């Protein structure tokens, strides 16, 4: 994860400094701003930004508006919103505004770091082979292998398993999976996630002994 550059926009200076210090300790390079102005957009042209950590409550502006604007201009940098806006509608609004993840304040620094690493790993262009336990994923042919045996998955199951695979040990809510895996599908229902995960588990762990994907009551699922 070293040499990855994270742009942080946070209007509270102490939080900005804490985020920079924490990520730098993990080997990231960081550039911080207290608001969005012309300098931020200029930076996107000058530097290869691997991730944007974006507050939503900013002086005179809203973080999602800035991200929506740069998307219209063709910038596709991954985004995590780090914000006090924690209502369900706020979170859904964030994912509609191109969020790759959404972290609410107050946050746990270890969890934030893990989620930063997960998004960068998931969106990195230079990752071809991923390995977790006895499972290997080859990006070149979009195939999963368990003990070197290919696993036959549908397109949806592939996308669902890959989302888990790139977010190992991170709790994935059903709402997050609906927004990232199902995307614009009309079939966006919570029970759809449950059924799809049940089918996926039957293919990757037919006898139920490996417990790759665990259910967390009332929360979602975790891949470990």
Distance CA 80, CA 103 (A): 7
15 and 31 in a single domain? The answer is: yes
- Residue tagged 């139920």 (tokens): 208
38 and 106 in a single domain? The answer is: yes
Which of 13, 27, 223, 218 is CA-nearest to residue 135? 223
Distance CA 16, CA 23 (A): 11
95 and 64 in a single domain? The answer is: yes
* Residues 91, 97, 100: CA angle, nearest 5 degrees: 75
Which of 116, 122, 128 is CA-nearest to residue 51? 116
> What pLDDT does 202 receive?
93
93 and 116 in a single domain? The answer is: yes
| pTM, to two decimals | 0.58
> What pLDDT does 139 receive?
77
27 and 88 in a single domain? The answer is: yes
138 and 106 in a single domain? The answer is: no
165 and 91 in a single domain? The answer is: no
**Token pair in block for residue 154:** 């549908």
Distance CA 97, CA 79 (A): 9
118 and 133 in a single domain? The answer is: no
Q: Are 101 and 83 in contact (CB under 8 A)?
A: no
35 and 116 in a single domain? The answer is: yes
Distance CA 48, CA 135 (A): 31
- CA dihedral sign of residues 205, 210, 215, 221: negative
pLDDT above 70 covers what percent of the chain?
A: 94
| Model confidence at 211: pLDDT above 50 | yes
> What pLDDT does 37 receive?
82
- End-of-domain residue from the set 96, 123, 150: 123
* Residues 102, 108, 112: CA angle, nearest 5 degrees: 45
The model's pLDDT over 82-136, given as tens digits with 9 standing for 90+, comes to 999 999 999 999 999 999 999 999 999 999 999 999 999 888 765 567 788 889 8
What CATH number corresponds to the domain at position 157? 1.10.10.10
Please give the C-alpha separations between residue 216 and each of 97, 115, 220, 222, in angstroms, as whole numbers: 27, 18, 5, 7
What CATH number corresponds to the domain at position 80? 3.40.50.2300
> What pLDDT does 187 receive?
57
Q: Looking at per-residue confidence, does 166 or 201 come out higher?
A: 201
Q: Are 140 and 128 in contact (CB under 8 A)?
A: yes
The model's pLDDT over 135-152, given as tens digits with 9 standing for 90+, comes to 988 877 888 999 889 999
> What pLDDT does 180 receive?
84
Strands 29-33 and 5-9: parallel
47 and 138 in a single domain? The answer is: no
139 and 107 in a single domain? The answer is: no
| Model confidence at 72: pLDDT above 70 | yes
**Token pair in block for residue 117:** 């690493």
| Model confidence at 221: pLDDT above 50 | yes
Give the count of domains, the chain.
2
* Residue 117: other Cβ atoms inside 10 A: 19
Structural domain harbouring 86: 5-123
| Model confidence at 178: pLDDT above 50 | yes
The model's pLDDT over 9-51, given as tens digits with 9 standing for 90+, comes to 999 999 999 999 999 999 999 999 999 887 888 888 888 899 9
* Residues whose CB falls within 8 Å of the CB of residue 184, separated by 6 or more in sequence, listed in order: none
- End-of-domain residue from the set 123, 143, 162: 123
Highest mean pLDDT among 43-47, 52-56, 69-73: 52-56
């Amino acid at each position: 994860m070293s040499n990855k550059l994270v742009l942080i926009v946070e209007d509270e200076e102490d939080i900005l400094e804490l985020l920079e210090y924490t990520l730098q300790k993990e080997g990231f390079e960081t550039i911080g701003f207290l608001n969005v102005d012309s300098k931020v957009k200029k930076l996107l042209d000058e530097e290869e930004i691997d991730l944007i950590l974006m507050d939503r409550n900013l002086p005179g502006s809203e973080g999602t508006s800035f991200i929506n604007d740069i998307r219209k201009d063709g910038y596709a940098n991954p985004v995590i919103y780090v914000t006090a806006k924690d209502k369900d509608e706020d979170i859904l609004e964030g994912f509609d505004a191109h969020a790759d993840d959404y972290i609410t304040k107050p946050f746990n620094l270890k969890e934030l770091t893990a989620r930063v690493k997960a998004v960068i790993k998931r969106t990195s262009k230079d990752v071809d082979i991923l390995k977790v336990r006895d499972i290997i994923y080859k990006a070149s042919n979009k195939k999963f292998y368990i003990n070197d045996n290919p696993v036959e998955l549908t397109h949806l199951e592939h996308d669902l398993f890959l989302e888990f695979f790139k977010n190992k040990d991170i709790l994935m809510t059903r709402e997050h999976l609906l927004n990232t895996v199902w995307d614009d599908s009309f079939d966006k229902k919570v029970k759809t996630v449950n059924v799809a995960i049940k089918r996926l588990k039957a293919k990757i762990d037919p006898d139920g002994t490996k417990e790759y994907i665990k259910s967390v009551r009332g929360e979602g699922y975790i891949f470990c």
